[in-house]
């Protein structure tokens, strides 16, 4: 038995392990992967039953390359435990280890967080905005390609107002509202920017708009210098 933990040097990074070769004696030996700094962390299960040797369920074996495995634990670490009997020795494995920041889950417009049915005001806490991936396409009327931000969406039920802000601006910041045909757009080109004095296609830390009943909207938020709470209040549109 051997257990080892891989932890990132940078506290903002998360470990990803990518196996390129894998050969563990099937149904007898097993490699266990835990999402965190020790074996009490959540098991990333293979779905396999216990081995013939009696080792626990959930281990990885055989010659099919598993993973890749990426930590979601606050420490950014992954732990591996290998259990083997003494009768057969297979080649084992080769893997690459990568330590990189994990982008926010809503940094792609397809994964925008809908706040339509959320309690208001809605707060998305400590968003790691600086690690969002770059936008590739532009909405109509306000170009954002090449910037790195996150997305939120909502649909107004009455004519009213909506506002959004960044609580701890750092680096370049922007908060921009766009109109959209619905909350399931294909990409940024489905959006349209309508200028208001409180919603400009420019750097800023807060924006607000007048809304129309039945109209859907997307909000693009960027903050290149660090994490921030993102606060959205659409109570005036519901």
Question: Which letter, b or e, does each residue of 148-159 get, where b requires 16 or more Cβ atoms within 10 Å of its Cβ?
Answer: bbbbbbbbbeee
Express each pLDDT in 110-159 by its tens digit.
Answer: 999 999 999 999 999 999 999 999 999 999 999 999 999 999 999 999 99
Express each pLDDT in 172-231 by its tens digit.
Answer: 999 999 999 999 999 999 999 999 999 999 999 999 999 999 999 999 999 999 999 999
pTM listed for this prediction: 0.72
Percent of the chain with pLDDT over 70: 100
User: Any idea what DSSP says for residue 131?
Assistant: G
Taking the CA atoms of residue 148, residue 154, residue 158 and residue 161 in that order, the dihedral angle to the nearest 10 degrees is -30
Q: What is the pLDDT of residue 97?
A: 96
What is the mean predicted confidence (pLDDT) over 47-55? 96
Question: Mean pLDDT score of the chain, rounded to an integer?
Answer: 95
- Whole-number Å distance between alpha carbons of 227 and 58: 36
């Amino acid at each position: 038995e051997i257990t080892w933990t891989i932890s990132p040097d940078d506290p903002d990074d998360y470990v990803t392990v990518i196996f390129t070769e894998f050969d563990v004696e099937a149904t007898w030996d097993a490699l266990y992967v835990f999402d965190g700094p020790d074996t009490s962390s959540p098991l990333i299960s293979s779905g396999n039953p216990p081995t013939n040797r009696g080792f626990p369920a959930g281990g990885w074996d055989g010659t099919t390359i598993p993973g890749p495995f990426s930590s979601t634990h606050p420490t950014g670490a992954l732990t591996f435990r290998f259990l083997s009997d003494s009768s057969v020795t297979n080649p084992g494995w080769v893997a690459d280890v990568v330590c990189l920041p994990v982008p926010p889950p809503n940094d792609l417009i397809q994964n925008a967080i809908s706040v339509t049915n959320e309690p208001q005001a809605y707060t998305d806490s400590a968003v790691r905005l600086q690690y969002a991936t770059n936008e590739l396409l532009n909405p109509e009327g306000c170009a954002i390609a090449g910037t790195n931000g996150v997305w939120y969406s909502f649909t107004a039920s009455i004519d009213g107002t909506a506002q959004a802000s960044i609580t701890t601006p750092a680096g370049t910041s922007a908060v921009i509202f766009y109109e959209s045909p619905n909350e399931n757009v294909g990409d940024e080109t489905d959006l349209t920017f309508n200028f208001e004095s409180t919603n400009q296609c420019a750097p800023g830390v807060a924006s607000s708009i007048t809304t129309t009943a039945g109209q859907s909207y997307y909000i693009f938020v960027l903050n290149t210098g660090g994490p921030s709470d993102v606060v959205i209040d659409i109570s005036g549109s519901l």
